[in-house]
Structure 1
Amino acid sequence: MKTELDSLATALYVKTDDLLKGSPQFSPWRPAVGIAPRLSDAELVTLAMMQAMLGFTSEARWLRHAHTHLRHLFPYLPKQPGYNKRLRKAAELVRRVTRALASDTTLWTDDVWVVDSTPVECGRSRETVKRSDLAGWAEYGYCASHSRFFWGLRLHLVCTLQGLPVAFALTGAKADERETLLDLLAVEPHLIGERPSQILIGDKNYFGREFERQLAELDMRLRPQGRGRARRITAVQAAAAGHRVDQRDLQGTTRSRTPPRPHTRRRGRPCPAAHPRTHRRDLAQRPHRPAGHAGTDRLRPLNPLE
């Protein structure tokens, strides 16, 4: 297998161009009469895929890198504003190509999935909540892992044991995780048809008799059945047995803690005793009196002769 950059770019371009020729409806809408773009849709998707694979988070920095090192592969490279506008319009095409590339890998046919959700915080101050354009979408919710409330959305993700995303959804912060998973499976029914007897691994928020019954009707099993940490680790290891995932990643760290070593400078030297002193909070308190000491001994009858 060749791992050079030119071969990767060529393979991505051929794959995207074949997809667009077979399904031209995936291309962004463009008027019949007008100026033809100098950068084709297949080249745009190839450029975006290579940016993600090479780890460039800045579009301007990526385009400077492409002008320097990839000029022989792309006859025309747009500037950053035009590149950003083209990518926004081709978001659906990029998603289709990503799914096509993922389905060609061996990880796509894995029979074990991991499902979970994570909070996506969109604002903290009250003024931000009032002025945000996400009003109506974002809402207040509670994150049990961080033990705090947040305002925003919740990202639901289904992926393989190796980390390949299968399906995802953005919902409100109070959306039920079980209902969201059922909606994801209903929107994309081909995910279930391609994988009989699929195994799902989730936390305690995904357990329930009615929910497990609905998954059983879809020929899917939910593991682990227990809610304890030890039983969860055992069930994950049993579900991942025979797969290409390393068992050490599931067991966590096995390194034992090193016992503290004595200080070399103070070895054999006696430690001086701490000087006893009154605690600061007790400075304003009265001295302690014995239990048998009554408070009336300080009172004496008044003698009119004195």
Structure 2
Amino acid sequence: MTTDLDTLVTALYVKIDDKIGGTRRPGRPPLLSDSELICLAVAQALLGHHSEARWLRFAHAHLSGMFPYLPERPGYGYRASHSRFFWGLRLYLVCTPAGMPIMWALANPKIGEREVLAAMLEIDAKLVADRDGVLLISDKGFASKPFEETLAKQGIELLRPSRKREKQRHGEPMLKKVRQLIESVNDTLKGQLDLEHHGGRTFEGVAVRVAQRILAMAAAIWHNNKTDAPITRSLIAYDH
């Protein structure tokens, strides 16, 4: 455990508990609150524990002071022989230039990319409505004049590479640098947060583990920004 991780988990707990801590459900209060559960999930992702069983052993040994109640055993484990799963799902992620996740979705790969993005923007319409104009950068898969006209009506300008036989689009020269940023975000999720080794065995399990890693990256960026870290998307201080 590092002091930085302790500080991050503590700050995240306070932030989350301020938002949801006052919510009460019928019946006895849970032994492990929602705020504690989310903080534990972030810590698990940052420390790279794929197995829930091993993670709970680690948490009992190192985190019991911060989390008085921890379950003794998880409902399922992780088999190293099945470390890679393909569930036929595609991850869509919208980030700020700093890499902070804004929207995300898991979708059947048979669903068109533009259809998924349209649904994301419909569900989170307030995110766009609260901003005075949005620049959205994508790849060629989102090319469509009707789709871009629909985005424009929502105050969204789409910046993408030009297709074959299409004139160079405005702002296209800057896409090379943006592509490096996108690959860097992907590398953070796949490399440091082991996104491809999530261990989920059901749709719900995959969705929870993807959310866990996206939240971990967002929490690290948020905390680094609050502490004036030189590189806001660096997870090095928390992943060991």
Q: Normalising TM by the smaller chain, what interval?
A: 0.5 to 0.7
Instruction: Show structure 1 runs of 5+ residues with no match.
Output: 85-119, 123-151, 250-306
- Kept in 2, the 8 Å contact 1:158–1:168? The answer is yes
- Kept in 2, the 8 Å contact 1:153–1:170? The answer is yes
Identity %: 46
Q: Which residue of 1 aligns with 2:19?
A: 19
- Structure 1 residue 38 corresponds to structure 2 residue 24: no
One of 174, 179, 200 as aligned partner of 1:237: 174
| Per-residue Cα deviation, 1:81-115 (whole angstroms, up to 9, x for no partner) | 2699xxxxxxxxxxxxxxxxxxxxxxxxxxxxxxx
Structure 2 counterpart SS, 1:4: helix
Code of the aligned partner of 1:59 = E
Tell me whether 179-188 or 52-61 shows the greater mean CA deviation: 52-61
- Structure 1 residue 55 corresponds to structure 2 residue 48: yes
Alignment of structure 1 residues 294-305 onto 2, 5 Å: none
Quote the Cα distance in structure 2 between the aligned partners of 1:80 and 1:182.
41
- Kept in 1, the 8 Å contact 2:95–2:102? The answer is yes
Q: Which residue of 2 aligns with 1:132?
A: none
Structure 2 counterpart SS, 1:166: strand
Specify whether residues 21 and 66 from structure 1 end up closer, same or farther in structure 2 by C-alpha distance, changes over 3 A only.
closer
| Per-residue Cα deviation, 1:28-84 (whole angstroms, up to 9, x for no partner) | xx542x5x4332332222222211222222211111112222222222221232699
Alignment of structure 1 residues 1-306 onto 2, 5 Å: 4-21=4-21, 24=23, 31-32=26-27, 34=28, 36-81=29-74, 121-122=86-87, 152-224=88-160, 226-227=162-163, 235=172, 237=174
Quote the Cα distance in structure 1 between the aligned partners of 2:116 and 2:55.
36
Specify whether residues 83 and 76 from structure 1 end up closer, same or farther in structure 2 by C-alpha distance, changes over 3 A only.
farther
Q: Which residue of 2 aligns with 1:107?
A: none
Answer 1 or 2: higher relative contact order, Cα 8 Å, separation at least 6: 2
Specify whether residues 37 and 182 from structure 1 end up closer, same or farther in structure 2 by C-alpha distance, changes over 3 A only.
closer
Structure 2 counterpart SS, 1:226: coil
Code of the aligned partner of 2:53 = A
- Kept in 2, the 8 Å contact 1:169–1:184? The answer is yes
Quote the Cα distance in structure 2 between the aligned partners of 1:240 and 1:176.
26
State the Cα RMSD in Å. Answer: 3.5
Q: Which residue of 2 aligns with 1:274?
A: none
Structure 1 counterpart SS, 2:103: strand
Structure 1 counterpart SS, 2:67: coil
Code of the aligned partner of 1:193 = A
Q: Which residue of 1 aligns with 2:209?
A: none
- Kept in 1, the 8 Å contact 2:21–2:35? The answer is no
- Kept in 2, the 8 Å contact 1:158–1:165? The answer is yes
Quote the Cα distance in structure 1 between the aligned partners of 2:134 and 2:3.
33
State the 1:193 CA deviation.
1.9
Specify whether residues 239 and 221 from structure 1 end up closer, same or farther in structure 2 by C-alpha distance, changes over 3 A only.
farther
Specify whether residues 201 and 41 from structure 1 end up closer, same or farther in structure 2 by C-alpha distance, changes over 3 A only.
closer
Quote the Cα distance in structure 1 between the aligned partners of 2:6 and 2:161.
48
Quote the Cα distance in structure 2 between the aligned partners of 1:213 and 1:18.
40
- Kept in 2, the 8 Å contact 1:223–1:236? The answer is no
Structure 2 counterpart SS, 1:53: helix
Quote the Cα distance in structure 2 between the aligned partners of 1:174 and 1:217.
27
